[in-house]
Amino acid sequence: MKKIFFFFEELLFDPKIYHYPIIIPLIPISGLYTIFTFLNAFQKHLKREKFPVKVVGVGNLVLGGSGKTPLTIALAQSEKKAVIVLRGYGRKSVGRTLISKWGKILENVSISGDEAMLYAKSLPNASVIVSENRTSGIELGIELGGEIIFLDDSFRQHQIEKDIEYLIVSKPKNPFLLPAGGYREKLWFFKNVKKLEEGKEFFRKVSLENRTEKMVLVTAISKPERLEKYLESAIPKHYFPDHYTFSKDELLQILEDESATSILTTEKDFVKMENFNLPISLLKLEIYFEK
């Protein structure tokens, strides 16, 4: 199952010659999807709703990870009454749920999803809300007394007017929209965004906590190969699909199979492991800005 997942992830973002027999027949469907997506976005844009508090969007155009979560944390951490609103991928709950209220965590990671729990733990002055309906999430944030709303994965929320919207620039080799490529949308002419590109407007700083003699990398983030430039090549790596829910038994089995002294993982993955009482080494990611 994992091999199938990573085969299609490679197809969407970094296709090889053996992917094109699948990609080429899908291009007409991508063309129809592009037209539909544009019309839907434009219609919502014309009817977008303005809220009485500042709304800051952080989004991207492609499927999967591009750094939205650490970037949003970096933007929100200096605010005193910030509310984070996100969908909550990977959670076992539905509807609108308050995950944390001004630093007090109210739910567990199965209810929140990994990203929302990371926000809740990283932003002690903020409140975190998961909601498929982002408008409803913003309304709850206003009820709580939020003075600034950060909208995670905001680009497709065309029905919401943002005071500023940051768009993280990704440059996959596959230029097509779904299903032939990894783009969910393109940057439509009517969208007003502030582009942020890693290495230009923002930078990542990665540090390693609790290093042990023999670590094994275990992670369930999108495009996990992004981590490899920060690691020693000899470290064994176990990649799982994005938002995967780990069990203690499978992590113990990995430790045994690799004769490892600790599991090396990301902060996003750690929120799903921290109650297992296992030896953990942590890759900590921080974002800092040119200005």
The pLDDT tens digits for 87-98 are 999 999 999 999
The answer on 84 and 153 residing in a single domain is yes
| Residue 266 belongs to some domain of the structure | yes
Q: Which amino acid is at 198?
A: E
The answer on 31 and 167 residing in a single domain is no
The answer on 148 and 131 residing in a single domain is yes
| Residue 179 belongs to some domain of the structure | no
Q: Domains in the chain: how many in total?
A: 3
| Residue 232 belongs to some domain of the structure | yes
> What would the pLDDT profile of 48-60 be if each residue is shown by its tens digit?
999 999 999 999 9
**Packed helices 114-122 and 68-76: angle between N→C axes, nearest 10 degrees:** 20
Q: What is the pLDDT of residue 1?
A: 67
Q: What is the pLDDT of residue 232?
A: 81
Q: What is the pLDDT of residue 265?
A: 97
The answer on 257 and 192 residing in a single domain is no
Q: What is the pLDDT of residue 104?
A: 97
The answer on 99 and 193 residing in a single domain is yes
| Residue 151 belongs to some domain of the structure | yes
Range of the domain at 209: 204-286
Please measure the distance between the N-terminal and C-terminal CA atoms of the chain and give it in whole angstroms.
Answer: 43
Q: How many CB atoms lie under 10 A from the CB of residue 62?
A: 22
The answer on 119 and 22 residing in a single domain is no
Mean pLDDT of 193-220: 94
The answer on 90 and 194 residing in a single domain is yes
With a pLDDT cut of 90, the percent of the chain lying above it is: 88
Q: What is the pLDDT of residue 42?
A: 98
d(CA 97, CA 120): 13
Q: What is the pLDDT of residue 119?
A: 98
> What would the pLDDT profile of 142-193 be if each residue is shown by its tens digit?
999 999 999 999 999 999 999 999 999 999 999 999 999 999 999 999 999 9
The answer on 277 and 163 residing in a single domain is no
CATH code at 256?
A: 3.40.50
| Residue 111 belongs to some domain of the structure | yes
For residues 161 and 48, the answer to whether their CB atoms sit within 8 Å is: yes
User: Taking the alpha carbons of 254, 115, 72, 183 in that order, is the dihedral positive or negative?
Assistant: positive
d(CA 288, CA 101): 26
Q: What is the mean pLDDT of the chain?
A: 95
The answer on 227 and 110 residing in a single domain is no
> What would the pLDDT profile of 275-284 be if each residue is shown by its tens digit?
999 999 999 9
| Residue 122 belongs to some domain of the structure | yes
Using CB atoms within 10 A of its CB, is residue 117 exposed (0-12), middle (13-18) or buried (19+)? buried
Q: What is the pLDDT of residue 59?
A: 96
> What would the pLDDT profile of 60-86 be if each residue is shown by its tens digit?
999 987 889 999 999 999 999 999 999
Residue among 234, 285, 224 nearest 260 (CA): 234
| Residue 13 belongs to some domain of the structure | yes
The answer on 70 and 122 residing in a single domain is yes
3: its two tokens: 């091999």
The answer on 120 and 6 residing in a single domain is no
The answer on 84 and 114 residing in a single domain is yes
| Residue 291 belongs to some domain of the structure | no
